Protein backbone atom coordinates (compact mmCIF):
# COMPACT_ATOMS: atom_id res chain seq x y z
CA UNK A 1 0.00 0.00 0.00
CA UNK A 2 1.23 3.46 -0.82
CA UNK A 3 -0.25 6.80 0.12
CA UNK A 4 -0.51 8.84 -3.08
CA UNK A 5 0.91 12.32 -3.50
CA UNK A 6 -2.64 13.66 -3.54
CA UNK A 7 -3.49 11.98 -0.22
CA UNK A 8 -0.25 13.25 1.29
CA UNK A 9 -1.13 16.78 0.21
CA UNK A 10 -4.68 16.39 1.57
CA UNK A 11 -3.23 15.33 4.93
CA UNK A 12 -0.98 18.41 4.92
CA UNK A 13 -3.93 20.67 4.04
CA UNK A 14 -6.12 19.27 6.82
CA UNK A 15 -3.22 19.54 9.29
CA UNK A 16 -2.65 23.17 8.26
CA UNK A 17 -6.35 23.97 8.71
CA UNK A 18 -6.33 22.08 12.03
CA UNK A 19 -3.47 24.22 13.29
CA UNK A 20 -5.30 27.36 12.15
CA UNK A 21 -8.31 26.19 14.16
CA UNK A 22 -11.80 24.83 13.70
CA UNK A 23 -14.00 27.16 11.65
CA UNK A 24 -11.13 29.60 10.89
CA UNK A 25 -11.42 30.81 7.30
CA UNK A 26 -8.19 30.46 5.30
CA UNK A 27 -7.58 31.33 1.65
CA UNK A 28 -6.58 28.62 -0.81
CA UNK A 29 -3.61 30.72 -1.92
CA UNK A 30 -2.29 30.87 1.64
CA UNK A 31 -2.69 27.11 2.03
CA UNK A 32 -0.97 26.57 -1.31
CA UNK A 33 1.93 28.89 -0.46
CA UNK A 34 2.45 27.66 3.09
CA UNK A 35 2.26 23.97 2.22
CA UNK A 36 4.15 24.34 -1.09
CA UNK A 37 1.37 22.70 -3.10
CA UNK A 38 0.49 24.12 -6.53
CA UNK A 39 -2.68 26.22 -6.32
CA UNK A 40 -4.60 24.19 -8.90
CA UNK A 41 -3.80 20.97 -7.03
CA UNK A 42 -4.74 22.62 -3.73
CA UNK A 43 -8.10 23.69 -5.17
CA UNK A 44 -8.73 20.20 -6.57
CA UNK A 45 -8.08 18.64 -3.16
CA UNK A 46 -10.14 21.25 -1.32
CA UNK A 47 -13.05 20.53 -3.67
CA UNK A 48 -12.91 16.83 -2.74
CA UNK A 49 -12.63 17.64 0.96
CA UNK A 50 -15.63 19.97 0.64
CA UNK A 51 -17.75 17.35 -1.15
CA UNK A 52 -16.88 14.87 1.60
CA UNK A 53 -17.99 17.30 4.31
CA UNK A 54 -14.64 18.06 5.96
CA UNK A 55 -14.34 21.68 4.88
CA UNK A 56 -16.70 24.44 3.85
CA UNK A 57 -15.94 27.18 1.38
CA UNK A 58 -16.66 30.89 1.44
CA UNK A 59 -16.98 32.94 -1.72
CA UNK A 60 -15.80 36.41 -2.48
CA UNK A 61 -12.70 38.47 -1.90
CA UNK A 62 -12.53 37.49 1.76
CA UNK A 63 -13.44 33.88 0.94
CA UNK A 64 -11.58 30.78 1.84
CA UNK A 65 -11.95 27.39 3.46
CA UNK A 66 -12.55 26.24 7.00
CA UNK A 67 -12.86 22.92 8.79
CA UNK A 68 -16.43 21.79 9.41
CA UNK A 69 -15.35 19.15 11.90
CA UNK A 70 -13.11 19.49 14.92
CA UNK A 71 -9.59 18.11 14.28
CA UNK A 72 -10.17 15.45 16.94
CA UNK A 73 -13.07 14.15 14.84
CA UNK A 74 -11.09 13.77 11.59
CA UNK A 75 -9.02 10.61 11.19
CA UNK A 76 -6.09 10.12 8.87
CA UNK A 77 -7.94 7.15 7.37
CA UNK A 78 -10.92 9.36 6.54
CA UNK A 79 -8.75 11.84 4.62
CA UNK A 80 -6.88 9.11 2.72
CA UNK A 81 -10.11 7.37 1.76
CA UNK A 82 -11.71 10.63 0.58
CA UNK A 83 -8.87 11.04 -1.89
CA UNK A 84 -7.85 7.47 -2.78
CA UNK A 85 -10.91 5.40 -1.93
CA UNK A 86 -10.97 2.43 0.43
CA UNK A 87 -7.64 1.19 1.73
CA UNK A 88 -6.74 -2.11 0.07
CA UNK A 89 -3.46 -3.98 0.29
CA UNK A 90 -4.28 -5.88 -2.87
CA UNK A 91 -6.93 -5.61 -5.59
CA UNK A 92 -8.76 -8.70 -4.31
CA UNK A 93 -9.14 -7.08 -0.89
CA UNK A 94 -10.94 -4.08 -2.37
CA UNK A 95 -14.38 -5.64 -2.17
CA UNK A 96 -16.60 -8.54 -3.06
CA UNK A 97 -16.14 -9.99 -6.52
CA UNK A 98 -12.68 -8.48 -7.12
CA UNK A 99 -10.78 -11.77 -6.73
CA UNK A 100 -10.21 -12.95 -10.30
CA UNK A 101 -9.96 -16.56 -9.11
CA UNK A 102 -13.03 -16.48 -6.85
CA UNK A 103 -10.97 -17.92 -4.00
CA UNK A 104 -11.56 -15.20 -1.41
CA UNK A 105 -12.88 -17.60 1.24
CA UNK A 106 -9.97 -20.07 0.96
CA UNK A 107 -7.02 -18.01 -0.28
CA UNK A 108 -4.17 -17.80 2.29
CA UNK A 109 -2.85 -14.61 0.64
CA UNK A 110 -6.26 -12.98 1.05
CA UNK A 111 -6.44 -14.13 4.66
CA UNK A 112 -3.04 -12.76 5.72
CA UNK A 113 -3.11 -9.57 3.68
CA UNK A 114 -6.64 -9.02 4.98
CA UNK A 115 -5.30 -9.10 8.53
CA UNK A 116 -2.56 -6.60 7.65
CA UNK A 117 -5.11 -4.37 5.91
CA UNK A 118 -7.38 -4.37 8.97
CA UNK A 119 -4.45 -3.44 11.23
CA UNK A 120 -3.37 -0.59 8.95
CA UNK A 121 -6.95 0.68 8.61
CA UNK A 122 -7.49 0.50 12.37
CA UNK A 123 -4.28 2.37 13.12
CA UNK A 124 -5.07 5.08 10.57
CA UNK A 125 -8.54 5.39 12.12
CA UNK A 126 -6.96 5.87 15.54
CA UNK A 127 -4.85 8.84 14.38
CA UNK A 128 -6.82 12.08 14.49
CA UNK A 129 -5.66 15.52 13.47
CA UNK A 130 -5.74 16.92 17.00
CA UNK A 131 -3.10 14.31 17.86
CA UNK A 132 -0.98 15.59 14.97
CA UNK A 133 -1.39 19.21 16.06
CA UNK A 134 -0.46 18.27 19.63
CA UNK A 135 2.59 16.34 18.47
CA UNK A 136 3.65 19.22 16.24
CA UNK A 137 3.17 21.62 19.14
CA UNK A 138 5.46 19.51 21.34
CA UNK A 139 8.19 19.65 18.70
CA UNK A 140 8.04 23.24 17.50
CA UNK A 141 5.81 25.80 19.13
CA UNK A 142 7.19 28.52 16.81
CA UNK A 143 5.64 26.91 13.71
CA UNK A 144 2.24 26.58 15.41
CA UNK A 145 2.32 30.22 16.54
CA UNK A 146 3.33 31.42 13.05
CA UNK A 147 0.61 29.43 11.27
CA UNK A 148 -2.08 30.54 13.69
CA UNK A 149 -1.00 34.17 13.22
CA UNK A 150 -1.22 34.18 9.42
CA UNK A 151 -3.86 36.47 7.97
pLDDT tens sequence for the chain (151 residues): 678 999 999 999 999 999 999 989 999 999 999 999 999 999 999 999 999 999 999 998 888 999 999 999 999 999 999 999 988 877 777 666 666 666 666 778 878 888 898 999 999 999 999 999 988 766 667 777 778 887 6
Quick one: pLDDT at residue 120? 93
CB-based contact 35:9 (threshold 8 Å): yes
Say how many C-beta atoms besides its own lie within 10 A of residue 140's C-beta: 10
Counts for the chain of helices (H) and strands (E), in that order = 7, 2
First to last CA, the chain: 38
Q: Is the dihedral of CA 36, 41, 45, 50 positive or negative?
A: positive
Can you give the pLDDT at residue 13? Answer: 98
CATH topology of domain 5-85+129-149: Arc Repressor Mutant, subunit A (1.10.10)
Query: What pLDDT shows up at residue 3?
Result: 86
- pLDDT score of 1: 64
What was the pLDDT predicted at 119?
Answer: 94
Task: Answer positive or negative: Cα dihedral of 130, 131, 136, 137.
Answer: positive
Measure the CA–CA gap between 24 and 128, rounded to whole angstroms: 18
pTM to 2 decimal places: 0.86
Amino acid sequence: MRITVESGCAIRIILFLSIRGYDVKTGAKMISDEENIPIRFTLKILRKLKLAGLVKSFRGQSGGYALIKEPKDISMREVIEIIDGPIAMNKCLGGAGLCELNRTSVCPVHYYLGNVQRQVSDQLSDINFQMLVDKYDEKNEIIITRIKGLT
